[in-house]
Structure 1
Amino acid sequence: MRKKYIFILTILLGATSAMSQIQMGFKVSPYWSSNRVDVEVGDVNVENDGNGLRLTFGPVVDLSIDNNENYYFSTGLWLSSRRAGISYSGSERITQSYNLQYLSIPATMKLYTQEVMLDKRIFFQFGPTFDFKVSEKLKDGNRSIRLIDDFRFIDVSLYFSAGLDWHLGSTTRIYGGLTYSRGLVNAAKNTISDLNEMTYKNDLFGIELGVMF
């Protein structure tokens, strides 16, 4: 019976230790949403049609690697909006913009320097995000025809950020920095016949503000 209690206590202590290496928080990131468009068709010209201010927000989870306070695996669940603006010149001129929403799951590394000032460290974060489309809507432009009839359900981006992390207490921290997210795959699934060879990828430039507990 005593061995049983010792075994249970060992498991609880191990779980408590593991949980102590997990930090949770929340971030908000306003950014400029743009896109890269490429078409290999002779008489058709397609270009990016402007940028839009959008927002990402959601919980952040950082898991310490080897109990090291400078190296973390960082993930979360972020809701993000994106703007897809396209200008088409073919048999006629059409401009359209779409509003897209994604749930993003990052799988990134977050690295911290030693203190550069009292209670302040610089951080760098990089890695892929896996983006799952939850909504798409034609917002502006000619509604009689959609240049992109459907966007892919899954998108993949390469995420970069860098900024300053500030300890406010034993566990609470706030941070802020610059972010860049670069789409890696063609997000356009179905297009009009003139644009069968079109590739569409996202570019997001912004700032982020967050708090960790």
Structure 2
Amino acid sequence: MIYVFDQIMKAIRADDVKEQIRSDIVSGALAFGARLRIDDLASRYNASHMPVREALRSLAGEGLVTTEPNRGARVVSIDRQRFLHLLSIRLAMEMTLAREAATKVTARDMIEIETLETQRLTLAESGRYGEAVAVNQRFHRRIYEVSGNAEALNVLDRHWLLLAALWSRFGYRPERLGGVADDHDHIIRALRDRDAEASALLVGAHVVKTRQDLLAQMTALLEASQ
């Protein structure tokens, strides 16, 4: 019984450390490509080595950490090419899920989707952009949940963490907020009409705009640092 309790507590501690490391990666406190030393992390999060190792192993599965034999762990590195590959995958998957969702969406689903968009707008208009980005993810995820494709959702969730990390580093342009609202309004209309092709095309255009927006932010910061 004591052994089982100890195992449960170790698992809880590892999850706690994982959440802290994940949060620091997404927020930018741990930089892309930064080396992750067990001793440093154990000291940083006031934890023993074991939960730190378990946390890094789990985060590697989420795509936020890379590990190499005899070379330890690092925060994942993101360059322009990897970013473009990431968005290409999302473009194909999100269009497919939006198309499927449009054929299955219910009135109850639509209420939840539209409520999330209202919440996002309220947060954005009050300048709480970080929270608005989080609700934006929930808005899209709620649409894709309707498709019933759990495997694709798992992949998108993993990619979302990297996108959130990019947004925290390169910023979310306030002038883009109106465009996002307009995009979402058209997506909601297409879903309400159960127009599968329109839903897919509108979501696809939305992802492409996100790609252009982040690329512009990345390029501007790179030029400013030179």
TM-score (norm 1): 0.22
- Greater length-normalized contact order (CA 8 Å, ≥ 6 residues apart): 2
Higher strand proportion: 1
TM-score (norm 2): 0.21
If each structure's helix is expressed as a fraction of its own residues, which one has the higher value? Answer: 2
Look at both structures and tell me which one has the larger radius of gyration over its CA atoms. Answer: 1
